A and B are shown apart, each in its own frame.
Chain A
Amino acid sequence: MAIIYLVRHGKTDFIGKKLCGNLPGIHLNEEGREQAQKAADYLSKFPIKAIYSSPMERACETAAPLAKKLNLEVITKEFLREINFGDFQGKGEEIMSDPICKQFLATPSMVRFPNGESTYETQQRVGTGLDNQCRDFTPDDQLVFTAHCEVLRLAVSYALNLQLDDFQKLTIDPASISKLEWSDQKKKLLLLNYVPK
């Protein structure tokens, strides 16, 4: 059991332009680096025990200023990767009219991306990943996880028992912080989508 902070990576030049998913070589831009610093300033007030990150550059770069402040290592975890968008990864606006992308916005529980993951699989890997990680800690331990929009919304939905089709009703903005109490027996959402100014 632990208190966990879920942090989305800061802004990149591709947000809203390209479905980055797990493409390599996508970095924070200047605004994103400033956001990561602000998140670090906010989170460093708490007794953070460990910092975990998706292996993607933009997530690791978001975790870095906090790790530096607290003198902790960033530990990368595969279960924090963004949903594998398969054939859609790296594509732009042209895919918005594709039936699978439309379905992802309407009834995402039914979606599997061609050559990628299903929404349900992604939720299971991040949910059970967090379950396993939190089991090693005591209730007062505080952990930070930096990752991506969809995978974090799926983690919060898992905690709330929200129906999978409704997970996009949760907002996770760039560099936002959400806070949960997380154990096998009890999950509680303490804060959603706070962006430190």
Chain B
Amino acid sequence: MTIIYLVRHGKTDLIRKMLCGNLPGIPLNEEGRNQAAKTGAYLSTLPIKAIYSSPIQRALETAGIIGKATGLEVISVDFLREIHFGDLQGMEFPCINSHPIWQRYTTLPAYVSFPNGESVVEVQKRVSEGLDWIADQYSENDEIVCVAHSDVLRLAISRALDLPLDNFHRLSISPASVSKLEWAPDRKRLRLLNFQPID
């Protein structure tokens, strides 16, 4: 059993303005960097063995700040990328709210497949297999950090809980928040959800 801390990237100027997905060139803003520093300080009190990150800039920056605090290198892995929203990637809020696929995604997402992008089921499979691969490399009770994005992290947690996929939006993952999972092939547990180290 591996302990996995799931961390969402800190704030950017485009949160809630644009569906950023895997677009390049979106950095953290100042608030986001401060959030990442607080999350880094929190994680530096724990015996973290390794830090993995989505290769997208805002995640890598968050992971870099945590890496500095914990004295660890960041390992970039593709399976932590955000959902590939396909044709919807880069669309702006609130415009996107009237898009039929977005409406379905925000209400009954289980069978949504983004045109020219990924399906929800595919994303859950790639992130779950990725976490299996990580857990397989470490010893019992080793503690690992994974830095990624809101939806991919909620899908990982839904897998741990076996939560029916239409309900994954009921889990909140705030910027720079920390969630904690026990992850083994035969036993998965949610030990903490959406903790934001603030002080």
Measured CB to CB, the residues of A under 8 A from B are 159-163, 166, 169-171, 187-194
Provide the bound-state CA to CA distance between A159 and B172, in Å: 13
On whether the beta carbons of B195 and A169 are closer than 8 Å, the reply is no
Q: What 10 additional pairs, Cβ within 8 angstroms, besides A170-B190, A189-B170, A189-B171?
A: A161-B164, A161-B170, A163-B164, A166-B162, A187-B170, A189-B194, A190-B172, A191-B172, A193-B190, A194-B192
Which residues of chain A are within 8 angstroms of B191 by Cβ–Cβ distance? 171, 193
On whether the beta carbons of A188 and B162 are closer than 8 Å, the reply is no
On whether the beta carbons of A190 and B194 are closer than 8 Å, the reply is yes
On whether the beta carbons of A169 and B170 are closer than 8 Å, the reply is no
B171-199 vs A, CB cutoff 8 Å, 1 = contact: the mask equals: 11000000000000000111111110000
Which residues of chain B are within 8 angstroms of A159 by Cβ–Cβ distance? 170
On whether the beta carbons of B164 and A194 are closer than 8 Å, the reply is no
Is B163 interfacial (CB 8 A cutoff)?
Answer: yes
A-B interface contact total, Cβ < 8 Å: 60
- With contacts A189-B170, A190-B172 taken as known, whether A160 is within 8 angstroms of B193 at the C-beta atoms is no
Nearest first, the 3 closest Cβ-Cβ pairs linking A and B are A192-B193, A171-B191, A161-B167
On whether the beta carbons of B172 and A189 are closer than 8 Å, the reply is yes
Minimal beta-carbon separation of B158 from chain A (angstroms): 9
Closest B residue to A161 by beta carbon equals B167
Which residues of chain A are within 8 angstroms of B164 by Cβ–Cβ distance? 161-163
Provide the bound-state CA to CA distance between A166 and B193, in Å: 16
**Partner among B160, B166, B167, B192 whose Cβ is within 8 Å of the Cβ of A169:** B160
Which residues of chain A are within 8 angstroms of B193 by Cβ–Cβ distance? 189, 191-193
Provide the bound-state CA to CA distance between A2 and B121, in Å: 32
Minimal beta-carbon separation of B124 from chain A (angstroms): 16
Which residues of chain B are within 8 angstroms of A163 by Cβ–Cβ distance? 162, 164
Minimal beta-carbon separation of B132 from chain A (angstroms): 17
Is B161 interfacial (CB 8 A cutoff)?
Answer: yes
Which residues of chain B are within 8 angstroms of A166 by Cβ–Cβ distance? 161-163
On whether the beta carbons of A160 and B189 are closer than 8 Å, the reply is no
On whether the beta carbons of B161 and A162 are closer than 8 Å, the reply is yes
Minimal beta-carbon separation of A146 from chain B (angstroms): 20
Minimal beta-carbon separation of B151 from chain A (angstroms): 15
- With contacts A166-B162, A169-B161, A169-B162 taken as known, whether A160 is within 8 angstroms of B192 at the C-beta atoms is no
- With contacts A188-B170, A188-B172 taken as known, whether A160 is within 8 angstroms of B163 at the C-beta atoms is yes
Minimal beta-carbon separation of B154 from chain A (angstroms): 10
Provide the bound-state CA to CA distance between A187 and B170, in Å: 7
Provide the bound-state CA to CA distance between A192 and B157, in Å: 12
- With contacts A159-B170, A160-B167, A161-B164 taken as known, whether A169 is within 8 angstroms of B194 at the C-beta atoms is no
On whether the beta carbons of A171 and B171 are closer than 8 Å, the reply is no
On whether the beta carbons of B194 and A192 are closer than 8 Å, the reply is yes
Provide the bound-state CA to CA distance between A171 and B193, in Å: 10
Provide the bound-state CA to CA distance between A16 and B171, in Å: 29
Which residues of chain A are within 8 angstroms of B166 by Cβ–Cβ distance? 161
Could you write out 6 A-B pairs with CB less than 8 Å apart? A159-B170, A161-B166, A162-B164, A166-B163, A171-B190, A191-B195
Closest A residue to B189 by beta carbon equals A169
Which residues of chain A are within 8 angstroms of B163 by Cβ–Cβ distance? 160-162, 166
On whether the beta carbons of A191 and B194 are closer than 8 Å, the reply is yes
On whether the beta carbons of A170 and B161 are closer than 8 Å, the reply is yes
On whether the beta carbons of A194 and B188 are closer than 8 Å, the reply is no
Which residues of chain B are within 8 angstroms of A171 by Cβ–Cβ distance? 189-192
